[in-house]
Chains A and B, each alone.
Chain A
Amino acid sequence: MATKKNNTLKLKFESARSYAPAPESRSAATINERYELFINGKFDKPQGKKYFDSINPATEEKLSSIAEAGAADVDRAVKAARNAYDTTWKKMPGKERGKYIFRIARMMQERARELAVVETLDGGKPIRESRDFDVPTAANHFFYYAGWADKLEYAFPAKKPQSLGVAGQIVPWNFPLLMAAWKIAPALATGNTVVLKPAENTSLTALRLAEIIQEADLPPGVVNIITGAGATGAALVNHPDVNKIAFTGSTEVGKIIARSIAGTNKKATLELGGKAANIIFDDAPLDQAVEGVVNGIFFNQGHVCCAGSRLYVQESVYKEVLRKLKDRLETLIVGDPMDKNTDIGAINSKEQLNNINKYLKIGQQEGAEMYQSSVPIPAKGFYCRPTIFTNVAQSSRISQEEIFGPVLTIQTFRTEDEVIEKANNSPYGLSAGVWTDKGSKIFNLTTKLRAGVVWANTYNQFDPASPFGGYKESGYGREGGLHGLAPYLNLS
């Protein structure tokens, strides 16, 4: 702690952390012992009769057994989707399609608490976040796109939009329900049918969504949800009767998908990794900026593809920002995700924790200085203290590679041109942040940063009406807003 000479008030962390526990009740949701595949409107056993465990990363307890879809199951799901496309969904007037999607949104809102509890138990994210962000934003996404279903021709001047057919969709484990909504809602609104595969660590809320879809009386086969790991995803990507692939995940897998669909007519949307620069100028409101940096990197344990993982601070305010940041770090509560006081929950899986720890080692070996808050973490479960690295080089692996955890690197800069150069010096280009009180500087930066989403004096904001997606190796295509319709349509 490098706070020797400062006369400002210091927060008393001991008292800040001693909140009484405020746990959310598990009884808001029941979790079955076993979950099957959702194909053609029914929950069905996998043909290979294989199941895998889903555990709670906060406690390492087993939550449920999940069906593993093999190639034959993938084929059944695609056939069901094709049949539903040909017989009902393609022909249905947009306004009727829209009403189904509205219905799904409403039912998600009705079951919001249950969904939030399941999301937190399954994925380890703080209940506050599941409750206030993931679940409502997911429902809103359906509500937003429902309204587009009968208005598509207004979105594309001089073109006739037409649906593609069957969309194969693969979503990651960081925002399981929200990503499923980002995928399914626009696909349905544009008249496509869906086969969705959630990540193997976090299948439960997608399967809840399957129940909702069943309850909403969506025609059988319009949405199919099949669970499994990478092999299931590969079978879906390579299925010859799929017209569209939508994938959110790592850049590495995104490239494999791009290669494997080469030479086919499959369209693709790829939402991949990121290593966002978050830039603080000396004229920024520093307290707000520090809040934004904390939200930018520690939101969802840093399991966010657009996380602001590279902090650039103008030299003249570096010391002050660093002190404020370290102070703020001490107040973050790490622990039981079901506790409403928790700021940072459990790391999603053991593998991911190992991966983060690997980078903590690399950072130190590369000569960077590591600082972690002194917060206690539970003995059981997968946890990582919020971590910052100073004395980081632009070429360091920890400032070039995506860590996907609560790990922030800090570098300094002097001029605008310098920080633009440094920020853009990355194969990624998903998002960026700028903090300054000067409007012209904001627009200079937001214009020159090569990233799909730029937050100025804010960070990690999301909305169904707002397009999201990357430049460069962060992938292609947009999700959300009007621009999120195009990847699911042929324009003739």
Chain B
Amino acid sequence: MATAAKKNSVKPLARQDENGIPPKRLEVLKTYKIYIGGKFPRTESGRYYKAINKDGGVLANLCLSSRKDFRDAVIASRTAFGDWSTRAAFNRGQVLYRIAEMLESRKAQFIHELILQDIPASAAETEVLLSIDRLIYYAGWCDKFQQIFSTVNPVASSHFNFSVPEPTGVVSIIAPEENSLLGLVSAMSAAIAGGNTCIILASYSKPLCAVSLAEVLNSSDVPGGVVNVLTGKASDLIPYFADHMDVNAIVICDRGADVTRLVQEKAAINLKRVTIYDQINWLSDDGQSPYFIMDLQEVKTTWHPIENIGGSAPGY
């Protein structure tokens, strides 16, 4: 599978010099696979596409994920939701922090991959460092946003009444084409910090970091199925991301008016919550806030009677 790139490959998959002489040590190439339920299968479709840089160099063969892959990912997500959503918020914070630790230790790889995908070196470094910091940012919010957005409601009747945010459920995320790492990390972190599980469609043109991030997640105590990563064609997959009956919400990043409309129409089938992130500067502080977490939360209100014995007032 990985022998496809010979003639027109520039730096990335170069295996021989101009004279056709092989290197002393043959580089071992990575097979970029998708990530479902904590495992790295190939797409069941058996189809692939080539990730290509701007000079036409082939970077790798990527899975062209199918509807079946997506449905498998939804099952994995739904299965993981019960455990992930009921974990202690503190524990979720530790897991997000662990992702940041793992990413930090592999940042050179991610910077390299971004450079391969035509991102200038300094911008690549900025994007990777910000991605790590963003994970830390949301790690810290895991056990705090509830305190900001909860209320105890002073109802007129003799009841104790409070409202708290709870995760919406299974979320499908269409990551942005640009900021292929930072945009994905930002949307993912807000979703899982709030206790949701998700299926992410990676950038088509810059898919490498998404797959490598899955490898980071796999070694970060993120339970299988909490985050699933698919690569492939947006036009093939977005309709399924939008109309699957067991998905509770969908996030779409920078996909233009027509796709947004299509998603909104299809999402109505089970009243998915649709969140649209258009032209968000993920590189700035505008790209992070607890309000992103709240975009994927439901507010639950609980009532219980208060016994009012003899109307007695409290003493000191």
Q: Write the residues of chain A forming the contact surface with B, with a CB cutoff of 8 angstroms.
A: 140, 157-159, 251, 254-255, 258-259, 261-263, 270, 272, 427, 442, 446-448, 450-458, 461, 463, 465-469, 471-473, 475-476, 478, 481-483, 491
Contact = CB atoms under 8 A, between A and B. Distances in A.
B303 A455 contact: yes
B261 to A, nearest CB: 3
Contacts of A157: 148
Contacts of A261: 264
A472 B300 contact: no
B269 A255 contact: yes
B268 A466 contact: no
B268 A259 contact: yes
Residue of B261, B267, B302 ringed by the most chain A CB atoms within 10 A: B302
A476 B301 CA distance: 14
Given A159-B291, A461-B155, A467-B163, A473 B271 contact: yes
Nearest to A155: B151
A454 B302 contact: yes
Interface in B238-291: 248, 257, 260-262, 264-265, 267-271, 273, 289, 291
21 contacts: A158-B289, A251-B271, A255-B268, A255-B269, A258-B264, A259-B265, A262-B261, A262-B262, A262-B264, A442-B304, A446-B302, A452-B301, A453-B301, A453-B303, A456-B302, A463-B161, A465-B154, A466-B155, A466-B161, A471-B168, A472-B271
B271 A452 contact: no
Interface of B: 86, 148, 151, 153-157, 159, 161, 163, 168-169, 248, 257, 260-262, 264-265, 267-271, 273, 289, 291, 298-305
Nearest to A471: B298
A268 to B, nearest CB: 10
A157 B149 CA distance: 9
Contact of A255 (B151, B153, B271): B271
B265 A463 contact: no
Given A251-B271, A465-B153, A263 B264 contact: yes
B264 A452 contact: no
Nearest to A456: B304
A272 B268 CA distance: 13
B268 to A, nearest CB: 4
Nearest to A481: B153
Given A258-B271, A466-B303, A263 B261 contact: yes
A473 B151 contact: no
A72 B268 CA distance: 28
A461 B268 contact: no
B304 A483 contact: no
A156 to B, nearest CB: 8
Nearest to A258: B268
Contact of B299 (A159, A447, A456, A478): A478
Nearest to B263: A262
Contacts of B273: 476
Contacts of B269: 255
A465 B303 CA distance: 12
B300 A454 contact: yes
Contacts of B300: 446, 451-454, 471
